[in-house]
Each structure stands twice: as C-alpha cells, then as structure tokens.
C-alpha cells in the first residue's frame, strides 16, 4: 500500500493540473454555435398557420412607403405596386425567394477564431441596442454614455467567453455630428474586440466614410469583401407594414459594399404590432419576408439575417415589458419560424426592465435568454448588459451576463444519453464494490470539466464560508473585474501604425492610448 500512495497522489496531481489548463474547444461543455431547437412553443400546425397568415398579409395588405429605388427593385422582381402605393407580394415571389435565399451565413470576426457560422439551430449570444445612458452601479446613477463607454464595453466583451459578438449596445452621446458618431462607433467597437461587430447608419451617405475606414482596417477593399467583420443592423420597416425609406436606402448601400444585413422588424405588441403573441409573430414574419425579397432583388443571395424582433408592452401603462414571459415566448416563437424557413435568424433576448443588475434583472435576463437558446435562435441580440427597457447599458451587468448565458447554454446543450452517460457499470461498481458514493471516481473526475459549467461570479459557498470571505458582494466583484479588464493592455487594439493612419484620415474622438 505504501508503494502505491505516491502513484495515486501523482495521478490526482496530474488530473488537477489538467483541470487547471484550458480545455480544447471541442471538449468545452459550452461554446458558440451549440445546437438549440429542442423547445417548440408552437406546434407544426401552428407554425404553418403563421406562415400562411404572413403570406396572406403580404399578398393582400403589402407594405407602404418604399423608396423609389425599392419600388424599382421589388416590381422588377415580381412585386406589385397598387393604386394606393403599397407594394404587394404574390405568394410565388415569396416562395421563390425563400427557395434561393442563403441558408447559411458566416459572420466574420477580425480574428477568424471568432467567426460565427449561422445555420440550422446554431446559437450565439451577444449585445445590441441603442441605449442612451450608462448605468453606474456605484451610486446607482444613470448618465449619458459616450464613445469611451462604448469602447470599454467592446474591450470587456472581448474577454468574455459567452459573449460571441458585439453589436453596438449604446449611442455615443458625446459626438454631436451624426456621421462622425456612426463611424466613431465602429472604430470604438472594432478597436476594442476582434469579435464580429454590428452597427447601424441613419443616412445612406454615411455608409461610404465608414466603408473607407473598414477597408483601411481590413487591409484593402478586397480583404474586406473576403471577410466582412462588421454587419449592418437595419430597421428597414416602420411597423405596422411600412418601409422606412432612409433605412432601405442604407440597406441598398450596405449590400453594394458587401456588408451583411440584419433585417430588423421591431414592432411593439399592442402598439405597432398586434397585442397577441401569434399576431405579433405573424406581422414580424411578414415584414421580414418582405425584406428578404428586397435584399435578393438588390443582389441575389446577399447575406441577410431574418431579424424578427417583436417586443412586448405592458398594456396597463404602455411601458415596454422586455423582461416579461411574453417577451420570452415572442422570441422563442420567432426562433421556431427561423427554423421553419431554414434561414439565418436573430431575435432579442436577455434584456431587462430593471434599472440595475438585481434579482429582477437576473430572472428577466435568464428567462428570455434561455427560451431563445432552447428554440435555436442563431443570433440572440441584447443578451447582455441591457437595462431599463433598452434605455441603459451596464458594464458590470455585461460581465455578470457571461454567467447567465453560460448556464443558459448548458441547458441548450441538453442531456447526452449514451452507454457511458447512463453509467450502469459505474452504478454497479460503486454500489457493490466501492464506497457507496461517486465522489472521486475516475468517471466523475474525468467529466467534471467537460460536463459542468462553473460560474465565475455565482456564489456557491456555504453561509459559514461566505461570512469568512467577508460576505463578498456580486456587483462589487463585477466592478473589480471591470477595472482589472480596463487596466490591462487591450488585446484587440489596432496596430499603432494603422491606428495613426485612421486617425489622420478621420476625426476619431476616442483618445489614443
């Protein structure tokens, strides 16, 4: 026995060292692009009814206010402009577009390791929004956010395993010129993370300066077109059932420049969309189908994300209820429609109505993040950091959301049932030959990393340990981690020469480091 003790100790030490080392991507318990789709709030018959209703809406109601160029593209493709000016979409046109639309889409990162492969029910979580305030947990204050706050959000997101992309989550309120604000937003994001970035433009003429800058960062227009690492979040419709002319012109410009487009329909159930969950999904589906026809009329096969984003409304007050169970169902139902069409799709999940990262925020963020992932939404937008019904963004909440999304992704992964995981031989050995428990068994030790997701900030200590540790506060720990991230050298910073060249060409408001 004495001769065996060093061997056993060495084996355990080796296992501990192995557990401390980073796991290979294929062995990690969770990762970007895991397959969801096990949660189906709609039956197959109900999905078909929503699809038919959306086709009926497009054929009989159509969309108003298309810009002249949009009218030309759409009518050339087979849509019909009525005497009332509305563009109506024959079923055959929609069905033909669905048949030839892209089924897969890669959203590139500046670093190829962060490429997102959108197809089927592969799930990715990230930020989004247009918050006008930064939430300061120290003092519980709201203040207008600026370009440094956006850059800091990008740098934080770059370090978080479960934040897979960064769509601009806040507005740079310290840059009054809109064109400068929009290309500065891109610069602040791209210089803060090598993950895929999403942004928006308010005017079509603002696209060209941003594209010039992106060509510089990519190393030339050919390199950009080969791997476009920024996509356009485009509110091409003004619900109910109207095109947004300026946004449509922006969309046309982005398509011409090879930028992927998120077709974003964001009706408010009970205000700009029907109050029923099914009705809101029908309208969003119809609007995005119209957008899909538009995109493919401009350029067949252009990369587009089917962005059904209906939001909930508290009908007692008229306030947004983005943290509600109804929102979770809206998002999950949209995810099921994306899978029905077999199109890359995105929807909103994980935002909170709470003003601060507190218990309300926790249950609201988990509710819709979980249903979105389980339903197989390819791109879960606004999944982290968003508060006050999209009016406030919080850096500390972004950090804590990495834990929230980690647990949601573990549920997305589901339960593997194999001869090994059924563990019948292990049960027999422990019960008949072993100590009567599974602590320390080879099977338990071997799978403790590949099966389990451990929170970085969630507290699993006993009350006694918690007291001994000084009763650590969740928000204080997140704030300390934020300062640690922002004090370090930015891993995603542009090459100094490139940074200087961009600053020489554009009026960059973000201070140079």
Which position has the higher pLDDT, 20 or 320? Answer: 320
Q: Which of 322, 251, 256, 325 is nearest to 291 (CA)?
A: 251
- Determine the Cα–Cα distance for residues 431 and 22; give it in Å rounded to an integer: 33
The pLDDT value recorded for residue 434 is 85
The Cα–Cα gap between 341 and 335 comes to 10
DSSP output for 392-454? EE-HHHHHHHHHHHHHHHHHHH----SHHHH-HHHHHHHHHTS-SS-TT-HHHHHHTTTS---
pLDDT band at 27, cuts 50/70/90?
Answer: confident
User: Which pLDDT belongs to residue 154?
Assistant: 98
Confidence category of residue 91, pLDDT binned at 50, 70, 90: very high
How much is the pLDDT for 4?
Answer: 40
Q: Report whether 132 contacts 173 (CB < 8 A).
A: yes
Which CATH number does the domain housing residue 161 bear? 3.20.20.480
Q: To 10 degrees, the CA torsion angle through 294, 300, 305, 310?
A: 20
The position carrying tokens 């090459």 is 495
Cα separation of 356 and 142, whole Å?
A: 10
What CA–CA distances, in Å, run from 88 to 61, 98, 281, 406, 460? 7, 16, 19, 43, 57
Residue bearing tokens 């497009």: 58
Question: By the 8 A CB rule, do 156 and 193 touch?
Answer: no
Give the pLDDT confidence score for residue 7 in this predicted structure.
Answer: 40
Nearest to 237 by CA among 40, 427, 58: 58
Task: Specify the pLDDT at position 186.
Answer: 98
Residue 204 lies in a domain: yes
In angstroms, the CA 298 to CA 251 distance is 10
User: What does the pLDDT read at residue 360?
Assistant: 98
pLDDT number for residue 171: 98
Is 345 among the domain residues?
A: yes
**What confidence score (pLDDT) does residue 175 get?**
98
Q: What is the predicted pLDDT for the residue at 1?
A: 35
Angle, helices 325-341/44-60, rounded to nearest 10 degrees: 80
Whether residue 41 is contained in a domain is answered as: no
476-493: pLDDT as tens digits = 999 999 999 999 999 999
Inside any domain, residue 110 = yes
Which is it for strands 87-88 and 105-107: parallel, antiparallel or unpaired? unpaired
- Tens digits of per-residue pLDDT, 94-108? 999 999 999 999 999
The answer to whether the beta carbons of residues 508 and 502 sit under 8 Å apart is yes
Task: Give pTM, 2 decimals.
Answer: 0.94
The mean pLDDT of the chain is 95
Percent of the chain with pLDDT over 90: 91
291/262 Cα distance (integer angstroms): 10
Provide the terminal-to-terminal Cα distance of the chain, rounded to the nearest Å: 61
Report pLDDT digits (tens) over 368-393: 999 999 999 999 999 999 999 999 99
Residue 87 lies in a domain: no
Q: Is 34:409 a contact under the CB 8 Å cutoff?
A: yes
Q: Give the total number of structural domains in the chain.
A: 1
The band of 23, judged by pLDDT with boundaries at 50, 70 and 90, is: confident
* Residue 428 located in a structural domain: no
Whether residue 474 is contained in a domain is answered as: no
For residue 219, being part of any structural domain is answered with: yes
Confidence of residue 14 (pLDDT cuts 50, 70, 90): low
pLDDT at position 21, please? Answer: 63
CB 201 within 8 A of CB 235: no
Using 50, 70 and 90 to split pLDDT, how confident is the model at 17?
low
Domain enclosing residue 266, as ranges = 98-413
**Which position has the token pair 């009054």?**
176
- Write down the pLDDT at residue 25: 74
């Amino acid at each position: 026995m004495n001769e065996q003790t060093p061997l056993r100790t060495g084996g355990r030490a080796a296992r501990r060292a192995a557990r401390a080392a980073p796991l290979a991507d294929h062995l990690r318990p969770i990762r970007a692009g895991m397959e969801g789709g096990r949660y189906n709030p709609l039956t197959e018959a109900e999905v078909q009814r929503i699809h038919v209703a959306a086709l009926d809406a497009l054929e009989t109601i159509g969309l108003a206010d298309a810009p002249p160029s949009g009218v030309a593209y759409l009518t050339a493709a087979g849509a019909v402009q009525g005497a009332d000016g509305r563009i109506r979409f024959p079923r055959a046109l929609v069905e033909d577009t669905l048949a030839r639309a892209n089924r897969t889409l890669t959203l590139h990162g500046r670093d190829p390791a962060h490429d997102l492969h959108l197809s089927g029910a592969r799930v990715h979580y990230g930020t989004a929004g247009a918050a006008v305030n930064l939430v300061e947990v120290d003092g519980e204050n709201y203040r207008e956010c600026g370009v440094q706050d956006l850059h800091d959000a990008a740098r934080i997101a770059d370090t978080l395993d479960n934040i897979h992309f960064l769509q601009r989550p806040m507005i740079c309120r310290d840059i009054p010129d809109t064109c400068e604000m929009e290309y500065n937003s891109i610069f602040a994001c791209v210089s803060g993370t090598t993950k895929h970035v999403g942004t928006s433009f308010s005017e079509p003429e603002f696209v060209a300066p941003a594209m010039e800058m992106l060509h510089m960062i990519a190393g030339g227009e050919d390199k950009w077109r080969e791997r476009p690492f920024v996509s356009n979040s485009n509110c091409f419709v003004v619900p109910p059932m109207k095109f947004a002319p300026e946004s449509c012109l922006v969309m046309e410009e982005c398509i011409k420049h090879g930028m992927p487009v998120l077709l974003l329909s964001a009706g408010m159930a009970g205000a700009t969309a029907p109050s029923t969950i099914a009705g809101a999904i029908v309208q969003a589906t119809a609007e995005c189908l119209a957008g899909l026809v538009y995109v493919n009329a401009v350029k067949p096969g252009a990369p587009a994300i089917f962005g059904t984003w209906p939001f909930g409304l508290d009908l007692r007050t008229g306030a947004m209820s983005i943290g509600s169970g109804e929102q979770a169902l809206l998002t999950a139902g949209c995810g099921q429609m994306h899978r029905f069409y077999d199109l890359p799709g995105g929807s909103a999940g994980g935002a909170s109505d709470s003003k601060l990262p507190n218990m309300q925020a926790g249950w609201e963020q988990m509710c819709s993040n979980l249903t979105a992932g389980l339903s197989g939404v390819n791109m879960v937008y606004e999944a982290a950091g968003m508060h006050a019904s999209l009016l406030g963004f919080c850096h500390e909440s972004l950090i804590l959301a990495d834990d929230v999304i980690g647990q949601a992704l573990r549920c997305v992964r589901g339960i593997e049932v194999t001869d090994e995981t059924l563990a019948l031989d292990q049960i027999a050995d422990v019960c008949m030959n072993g100590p009567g428990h599974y602590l320390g068994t080879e099977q338990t030790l071997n799978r403790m990393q590949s099966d389990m997701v451990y929170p970085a900030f969630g507290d699993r200590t006993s009350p006694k340990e918690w007291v001994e540790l000084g009763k650590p506060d969740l928000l204080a720990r997140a704030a300390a981690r934020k300062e640690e991230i922002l004090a370090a050298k930015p891993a995603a910073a542009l090459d100094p020469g490139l940074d200087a060249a961009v600053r020489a060409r554009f009026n960059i408001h973000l201070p140079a480091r």
